Chain A
Amino acid sequence: MEQNNIIKMRSLTEAMRVREMLLRKGIRASLIRTPGLENGCGYSLRIGSDIRRAREIVRNFRTGGDT
């Protein structure tokens, strides 16, 4: 579940890939450990700005729409 400006990632690899992709689209993101342990350990991206657009991009990426 996404909170504020944080988007949870499935894995470190996904986090790094999505971070690169967001940067290409002009959105800065920093890699952090996921706050809370609802799903156990993991990594998230803290989005610098335009969180809505970032979430849409990530959603699109996860459904195979954007690489």
Chain B
Amino acid sequence: MIYLDNAATTYPKPQSVRRALGSAAMYSANPGRSGHSLAMKAGENIYSCRVKAAEMFGAKSPENVIFTPGCTYSCNMVIKGLLKSGDHVVVSDMEHNAVMRPLKAMTQRGVTYTAARVASDNDETISNFREALRSSTRLVICTHVSNVWGIRLPVERLAALCRQYGILFMTDAAQSAGVFEINASESGFDFVCIPAHKGLYGTMGTGLLIVSDPQLLSTIIEGGTGSGSISLSQPDFPPDKFESGTPNYPGICALSAGLDFVKTTGIGRIHSKEISLLSELYDRLSANRNVILYTKRPDIRSCGGVMSFNVGDLGSEQCAEYLSKRGIAVRAGLHCAPLAHEHFRTEKRGAVRIAPSYFTNFNEIVTLSRVIAGM
């Protein structure tokens, strides 16, 4: 199979990640609950991953790194843990449903939001966000890289804008973690939501929330933390405040190995390879009159490792099925991002999304372009 659905989850995983996962599944105890050697070792491994994540994403300290069940959960923790009735939020018109659905749910509790249009020019995008701000704006949310179009949004500049107005800023780094350098402290990101299983090459069911000031968030789930257990009140200090219940220990071990892989390989090298493959594909598809491209040729400064297109009058799912029957895995449809499709007016037919990983090779891209040419 030619696997080009890495925006959904990366495959294959590095051997080191598979080994870490297997090892954790075989030799593990519940971390942070007991004092025997197996439990202490598990606790050390969790802490080690936390330290690695803090370093990679510029968290103030390991305690500012929260393990979550996934990026969607991280988004929910911020949106539901921060916002109150009367708060206003500005989002981009490229957001994934991981942001839009909890935000929509919060409108039932008196929260309002405005979607600011992403323009081809970053200055215009910033201006659109500025115009959307109100006196009641509490939070700005912007995806770092569109999961449909691969467009990189000017999140650092947006964070700076928010600082000027005393507004909090959250970025959804689902498609950028492991592809672009992210430093939460330097960039002034108050919240960064990250999945373990895409650009960090970990496994599904794990994510991260990098939070600048944990006191900003109320909890959305409480439970056992292995700390201060005489009290029926949830701990008020991180990370325990936000990590109730048994952690996904195998997932965190896999994430730890994934972080090592990304660090050793080099974020720049990974991104460069993905852009190189997408540029090659873009050039080949551009020569095909039946192919509809919606964005400009991918470049390393302004694009992540994602690109979408359509073919003739075919529905996107038809196209994906055609490819699947020929051993090529892609994702079609709306990609859980209806706003992003409305932006390019593809909400009725969707689009076919291509997302290589560091393990994708040139020949696979050539084969894909030839199969599309044969449609």
Q: Do A and B come from one complex?
A: yes
Residues of A within 8 A of B (CB): 10-14, 16-17, 31-33, 37-43, 67
Quick one: given A31-B40, A33-B35, A40-B231, are A14 and B226 in contact (CB under 8 Å)? no
User: How close is A22's CB to chain B, nearest CB, in angstroms?
Assistant: 15
Contact (Cβ within 8 A) A12 B63: no
Told that A41-B33, A41-B226 touch, could you supply 16 new A-B pairs with CB distance under 8 A? A10-B227, A11-B32, A11-B225, A11-B227, A11-B235, A12-B32, A13-B63, A13-B239, A16-B43, A17-B61, A33-B35, A39-B231, A40-B228, A41-B228, A41-B229, A67-B61
Q: Which residues of B in the span 313-362 have a Cβ within 8 Å of any Cβ on A?
A: none
| Number of interchain pairs (Cβ within 8 Å) | 62
For A62, the closest partner residue in chain B by CB is B237
Q: Which residue from A10, A31, A67 sits with its C-beta under 8 Å from B235?
A: A10
For B43, the closest partner residue in chain A by CB is A12
Q: Which residues of A contact B240 (CB under 8 A)?
A: 10-11, 13
For B224, the closest partner residue in chain A by CB is A41
Interface footprint category on B = 20 to 34
Q: Which residues of A contact B235 (CB under 8 A)?
A: 10-11
Whole-angstrom CA separation of A63 from B50 in the bound complex: 22
Whole-angstrom CA separation of A13 from B35 in the bound complex: 14
Task: Please list 5 pairs of residues, one from A and one from B, whose beta carbons are closer than 8 Å in the complex, sorted by A's number.
Answer: A11-B227, A13-B239, A40-B229, A41-B228, A43-B227
For B31, the closest partner residue in chain A by CB is A12
User: How close is A7's CB to chain B, nearest CB, in angstroms?
Assistant: 15
Quick one: given A10-B235, A11-B240, are A17 and B43 in contact (CB under 8 Å)? no
Contact (Cβ within 8 A) B35 A42: no
Quick one: given A12-B43, A13-B240, A16-B44, are A39 and B230 in contact (CB under 8 Å)? yes
Task: Type the 1/0 row for B40-71, where 1 means its CB is closer than 8 Å to any CB of A.
Answer: 10011001001000000000011100000000
Whole-angstrom CA separation of A41 from B62 in the bound complex: 22
Contact (Cβ within 8 A) B227 A38: no
Contact (Cβ within 8 A) A17 B229: no
User: How close is A30's CB to chain B, nearest CB, in angstroms?
Assistant: 10
Q: Which residues of B contact A17 (CB under 8 A)?
A: 47, 61-63
Quick one: given A16-B44, A16-B47, A41-B33, are A10 and B230 in contact (CB under 8 Å)? no
User: How close is A67's CB to chain B, nearest CB, in angstroms?
Assistant: 6
Q: Which residues of B contact A39 (CB under 8 A)?
A: 228-231
For B236, the closest partner residue in chain A by CB is A10
For B32, the closest partner residue in chain A by CB is A12
For B63, the closest partner residue in chain A by CB is A13
Closest 6 CB pairs of A and B: A40-B229, A40-B230, A33-B35, A12-B32, A16-B47, A41-B229
Contact (Cβ within 8 A) A13 B62: yes
Q: Which residues of B contact A33 (CB under 8 A)?
A: 34-35
Q: Which residues of B contact A37 (CB under 8 A)?
A: 230
Q: Which residues of B in the span 212-241 have a Cβ within 8 Å of any Cβ on A?
A: 225-231, 235, 237, 239-240
Contact (Cβ within 8 A) A42 B43: no
Q: Which residues of A contact B32 (CB under 8 A)?
A: 11-12, 43
Q: Which residues of B contact A38 (CB under 8 A)?
A: 230
Task: Type the 1/0 row for B121-152, where 1 means its CB is closer than 8 Å to any CB of A.
Answer: 00000000000000000000000000000000
Whole-angstrom CA separation of A40 from B237 in the bound complex: 16
User: How close is A52's CB to chain B, nearest CB, in angstroms?
Assistant: 25
Whole-angstrom CA separation of A39 from B47 in the bound complex: 23
User: How close is B167's CB to chain A, nearest CB, in angstroms?
Assistant: 25
Whole-angstrom CA separation of A33 from B62 in the bound complex: 21
Contact (Cβ within 8 A) A32 B35: yes
Contact (Cβ within 8 A) B63 A14: yes
Contact (Cβ within 8 A) A11 B231: no
Whole-angstrom CA separation of A41 from B34 in the bound complex: 9
User: How close is A6's CB to chain B, nearest CB, in angstroms?
Assistant: 13
For A37, the closest partner residue in chain B by CB is B230
Q: Which residues of B contact A42 (CB under 8 A)?
A: 226-229
